[in-house]
Amino acid sequence: MDAFRLDGKVAIVTGAGRGLGRGIAARLARAGADLVVTGRVLGALDAVRREIEEAGGHCLAVELDVRDVPAIGRAVAAAAAELGRIDILVNNAGVNIRSPALEVTEEEWDQVLDTNLKGLFFCSQAAARVMMRTGGGAIVNLASTMSVVALEHRATYCSSKGGVALLTKQLALEWAPHHIRVNAVAPTFVETDMTVPVLRDPDARQKVISRIPLGRTVEVDEVARAVLFLASPAASAITGVVLPVDGGYLTQ
């Protein structure tokens, strides 16, 4: 068996309606996994579902705001009931509000931290409970280069992603005895809707690219392939790792 194949596995991807989440879901489906895609906009999820099914895969779309903890439990339970198991969880759902630290409001803080960190934790908890009943699994979190280094006007985002990096290690430690691996990928700037406000400005784009030794931003599928690796049997001895997918950003 190809160690990168996911045949017979069930994978949940949060925030899968667009951008990285959509690309990750498509990549896991091509590797043979049955998909459960979640997000706040059901119309966008239906488009992802159709795309996967037209390519020969199986996909279930579930509307979910990861800030709603009871809804997380219901969504995970519904996915497990429909497909019989959960083998992989990709915690991709995330938001970024750019604001100087002196101007961050409580509402902005709560929106970013509740989505990027709190939601990620409770999705992991709900999925892990199912995985423990079926022999284990793999959780892959979306961290960031801003899990490690700061960037101006990103107080909320850096705080949330720093938390993701350490939480990844904590859950890896606690759940290893249950055969659940927990890892993260840490991309730099990727061409998605979230980064458009920065990358469409020529000066800001040049500033970003000047920091990346490979001289370019990262493509969605480059992140998706790293997620696939960490979710697959090819990474069977890897847990607690935060893997940069950053073109060398963190070397400086």
Distance (Å, rounded) from C-alpha 153 to C-alpha 162?
Answer: 15
Residue 182 near residue 211 (C-beta atoms within 8 A): no
Beta bridge partners of 38: 62
Residue 63 near residue 36 (C-beta atoms within 8 A): no
Instruction: Indicate the burial class of 65 (C-beta count within 10 angstroms; 0-12, 13-18, 19 or more).
Output: middle
The tokens describing 168, both together, are 């990844």
Residue 54 near residue 60 (C-beta atoms within 8 A): no
Of how many residues is the chain composed? 252
249 is catalytic: no
Q: Is 197 helix (H, G, I), strand (E, B) or coil?
A: helix
Out of 75, 93, 121, 157, the active site residue is: 157
Indicate which residues carry an active-site annotation.
157
